[in-house]
Structure 1
């Protein structure tokens, strides 16, 4: 059981979480994701916890791993970008609709070339929040450059990157893998999380942590074009147990 002293971020409503909260919340979130996808038959890759040694700048009692989603498929096109079409279709929000044809694909275009993405959720000891790291690659393993990744993003993501004052995609070394990854810069994330969760009155610790991760992912998914199941926000362990 986590003591009250360890629940620093959520208790103070400052939008941050502790390393202990991140580790526990990550496991709760990954199990919730798997349950929702299994129950509602979403063909989405699972999130799984990867155990590894702490980076040099982490102390031994902090997070020793990260969440990983591998091989999220995106269909890209070498034709004219659909965003420039005169009759562009309005993009849905970050949550999957019930009748979405293929929830494992972020975009669908005419001339289809498979691109794959790996997403990592890593704890930032400096900002005390989750941070999204990701990389894209072709079916032959060739890595995608930033301009190629931007062409895979839906118009809503491009707009969010252009207009947002707090977030942008940059490239830096992965804290565990020591290889360059693209990352969504975390500055300002805690303020957004504070605004999102400041009015909540959740008393149960597990529910608070699940709510934090779902709320956080709903923000970052808008920027990188990652679709998540609609039921993720509505699902709760109590409802699943009683159904």
Structure 2
């Protein structure tokens, strides 16, 4: 069945001065106007990395085949803006950086075949899947590569070129998913946001560093008054 989503008009070009982190909370002292813009070759994601460790994250589009940069950029802008289509979940900043590597691998494979994404057929998708599984990556890495490919279908409403079919409808892709189901005991709970954890940790450290001496002295005083009761009435 054809839907309005499938027949959407070609997406409008993104202005070059678009701030790619505009939809993300930023570190203290980070200035949105000083963050990366769409037209730049390298998008620095570090200002949106809210964990305490000073990790450097960036998307370097000079590592993508030049002919496919205009396909990669709108996809990762949508991921950063958390503009997710039905069935897709928003990704954390570090996960977006991980998927960039997987998407880049796929785009170089497409470039090697001298095809557009729309020109790839089901057999092509199966060939790429066989190539990925032949690498004997971990289950998580294989899932990352599979999902990165499917993004070029799931986010088709924002892409100037996209896959012509859903890879997950291919029998080969479905068979792998059946065999490699996620363990039932895996913890799928979302990470507690940094904005929640940081104040809790700060107060915990205050109890250890600032209040501990007084608390221990008060406990000792309490225990002294609660000594063995005198015998008799």
- TM exceeding 0.5: no
Q: Which has the higher helix share?
A: 2
Q: More relative contact order in 1 or in 2 (CA 8 Å, sep 6+)?
A: 1
- Which protein shows a greater Rg? 2
Q: TM-score normalised to the size of structure 2? A: 0.24
TM-score normalised to the size of structure 1?
0.23
